[in-house]
Structure 1
Amino acid sequence: MGVDYYSILKVDKNANDDELKKAYRKLAMKWHPDKNINNKKEAEAKFKQISEAYEIINLRRRRPKGQVPPPDAAGPGGATFFQTGPGPNAFRFNPRNANDIFAEIFGFSSPFGDDIFSSFADSQQMSSGPRIAPPIEQMLPCSLEELYKGTTKRMKISREIADASGKTIPVEEILTIDIKPGWKKGTKITFPEKGNEQPNVIPADLVFIIDEKPHSVFTRDGNNLVVAQKISLVEALTGYTVHLTTLDGRKLSIPINSVIHPEYEEMVPREGMPVPKDPTRRGNLRIKFDIKFPTRLTAEQKYGIKKLLSS
């Protein structure tokens, strides 16, 4: 059974050339290896597959019905094919030329490099291809409780979209953002091409960046939670029980039977933040102590302390 190249590009078999090119542009932008630094290997494979599908469909449409490109066929930009299977239709796109296809459609081969902004003007003079609007970034403040338990936020956005005649009209959309347990400050959630639609411009990606609101009790240290307790010298020497309400509402009582010195720290396993890649695991809770020493002692108190501690 042959490869369904139309399915790879997510278009109907009756799609016209403009629809085909639009589908290629959208997928090529999404999976360009330079835009997918964290999963470059997967992106390269997808990028080559998309380029293969686009080029083969184009070549088939330009040839008489029933014929397929021979192994030495060369498409625009020098794309070549070679046979990989026994059947007459078993051809594979040469992956070295995926960037050539991209450059042919967009007018430049690497739109995500460090010189993206300085190269836009030059590339537009050389090509009629659309330019790429830079991403729009928006901070998304979350409480520590929301990052502990996970939550869903709905963001209302206003944007301009183009109708069939090319005229832009204002619309409002609701974007749903699923905050996963344990997500950290700086985590990015991207909604592709949710910026304004303009002629000859690929809409900007909308990027939400997780920000963490300060908490009145806990501070975060990676996957751990840290809490400070103020105690008296008597409590430090004679024993103390820490009472805390966790971020998910549970009550904890943690007895400290050791002598608490200024550098002492109590560690409670698995009472920290969920680990993002495996929320069934948690970091630890670290309890630090701020010991309040008396500003002065009476002679009687000094005598009593010396007698107690020397015995």
Structure 2
Amino acid sequence: MFFGGGGRGFPFGMDDDDEGGFPGMGGMGGMGGPRGPPKEVDNKKLYEVLGVEKDATPDQIKKAYRKLAIKAHPDKGGDPEKFKEIQAAYEVLFDREKREIYDKHGMEGLKGGGGGPGGMDDIFSMFMGGGRGGPRQKQKMRVKPIARKVEITLADVYNGKTVEVEVERQRICSTCEGVGGTDASAVQTCSGCKGRGMRTIMRQMGPGMYSQSTGPCDECNGQGEMIDMEKRCKTCKGKKVKKDKKKISVEIDKGAPNGEQYTIHGEGDCVPDVEPGDVIVVVQVKPNKIFQRKGADLLIEKEITLLEALTGADFTIMHLDGRIVRVQCEQGQVIKPNTIMTCEGQGLPFHKTPYKFGNLFINFTVKFPEEVNPTQIKQVQSILQSQAKSDKETSDINSVETKFVLQ
């Protein structure tokens, strides 16, 4: 037995707009009650953000975007969140396909249209309070950082130092504020690439054979826009940026390791509508003639005479902060070659904890006399007679006369 239904002979009143589903229980008509009125599409928000009408042309959208972006740009003291909203609205409305989807379905239509950084899910999250899995922070576009190396001494590492680094960079033109012309009307969307900056070219290789290649638009040099020569900015010549030099002060921490990097945010190159780049200062520590470094520890090589090795050494060291450090070895304590003495707390400050210090290690080398005369031999023998006698007793067995040649 069949019930009269939606025109296709199916039971339960399935109509032509159903996509094989059953309303009310995953799509079954008649089981979930009557369907409500269609949900109203909210497709005005992005137009309101840019302050344009729904029938605005691409040129009008671009002009409105540039005007708002200049005011809201973080480099000009604008609101970063407002700037991101303006960018997101422009990204949708300037793209023909995305704009069509938005006009028909609103932000819901853009949901899931790209899960990667900067994709439609991020725009959906910004305006709707969450995409799939909740709100995500939009990845910011940022200009490539400028890297500079600065050389410092080991004394600078011990004491800390403020250095100045001169950076040559490009910044937003202050005359046109990054527009490239006297006003927004000076900039027109390139007709060759429709503002994309890229063009696809088809070439015939033979009968029925074609090759396709994509490259920068030759009309706008990949910029996606053209600037009216009569309205072009005289300061930057339409480039929107101009070269600039600035001295930046960087405070080097006490105990900073070789290769330590310091990032100065927003002081690098600038490009319109993009987050300013950073300056990264890389520290290089020059070798010291006296002190060798290993982390927070220091090592010096100290040569002493044979007399000092036998009777006790007493000497001073000029430290990296200008202090005179006196080193006294106990009398009667024989210092053998390559003996290492530890002076606790006399090394470098620990990085990030400058109130703590490493150790100073002293590696001793003993300078022996070139020759000893007969009188000196007798004096040494008389002093070390007991030790020499003991050594002689053990060496008389199977002794062989040998002549040594010192190289």
Same fold (TM over 0.5): yes
1:144 alignment partner in structure 2: 154
Indicate the structure (1 or 2) with the bigger Cα radius of gyration: 2
Residues 193 and 206 in structure 1, CA contact (< 8 A), matched pair in contact too:
yes
Equivalent residue for 2:367, pick from 272, 292, 300: 292
What is the root-mean-square deviation of aligned Cα atoms in Å? Answer: 4.3
Q: Which letter does structure 2 place at the counterpart of 1:139? A: K
Q: CA offset at residue 300 of structure 1?
A: 2.4
In structure 2, do the counterparts of structure 1 residues 295 and 18 end up closer, same or farther at CA, with 3 Å as the change threshold? same
- Establish whether residue 278 from structure 1 lines up as the match of residue 320 from structure 2: no
Q: Which letter does structure 2 place at the counterpart of 1:299? A: P
2:329 alignment partner in structure 1: 256
Q: Which letter does structure 1 place at the counterpart of 2:290? A: V
In structure 2, do the counterparts of structure 1 residues 238 and 195 end up closer, same or farther at CA, with 3 Å as the change threshold? same
What SS class does the counterpart of residue 302 from structure 2 fall into?
strand
Q: CA offset at residue 204 of structure 1?
A: 4.9
Instruction: Report the identity percentage.
Output: 25
1:240 alignment partner in structure 2: 313
Give TM-score, length-normalised by structure 1.
Answer: 0.60
**Deviation per residue, 1:134-164 (Å, 9 max, x gap):** x433221111111101111122323222211
In structure 2, do the counterparts of structure 1 residues 54 and 155 end up closer, same or farther at CA, with 3 Å as the change threshold? closer
CA distance in 2, matches of 1:242, 1:287: 12
Q: CA offset at residue 195 of structure 1?
A: 3.8
CA distance in 1, matches of 2:374, 2:134: 88
CA distance in 1, matches of 2:133, 2:84: 13
What SS class does the counterpart of residue 140 from structure 1 fall into?
strand
Spell out the pairing of 1:39-78 with structure 2 (5 A cutoff): 74=111, 77=114
2:214 alignment partner in structure 1: none
Residues 338 and 365 in structure 2, CA contact (< 8 A), matched pair in contact too:
no
- Establish whether residue 171 from structure 1 lines up as the match of residue 213 from structure 2: no
- Establish whether residue 309 from structure 1 lines up as the match of residue 384 from structure 2: yes
Equivalent residue for 2:121, pick from 79, 87, 106: 79
Residues 269 and 283 in structure 1, CA contact (< 8 A), matched pair in contact too:
yes
2:224 alignment partner in structure 1: none
CA distance in 1, matches of 2:131, 2:381: 88
**Deviation per residue, 1:182-240 (Å, 9 max, x gap):** 00111011234544435687665332211112223212111111112121111111111
Q: Which letter does structure 1 place at the counterpart of 2:287? A: P
**Deviation per residue, 1:260-288 (Å, 9 max, x gap):** 10121110001100000211100001111
CA distance in 2, matches of 1:94, 1:286: 60
CA distance in 2, matches of 1:80, 1:139: 37
Q: CA offset at residue 97 of structure 1?
A: 7.3
More strand by share: 1
More helix by share: 1
Residues 269 and 285 in structure 1, CA contact (< 8 A), matched pair in contact too:
yes
Q: CA offset at residue 22 of structure 1?
A: 5.7
In structure 2, do the counterparts of structure 1 residues 260 and 95 end up closer, same or farther at CA, with 3 Å as the change threshold? farther
- Establish whether residue 214 from structure 1 lines up as the match of residue 287 from structure 2: yes
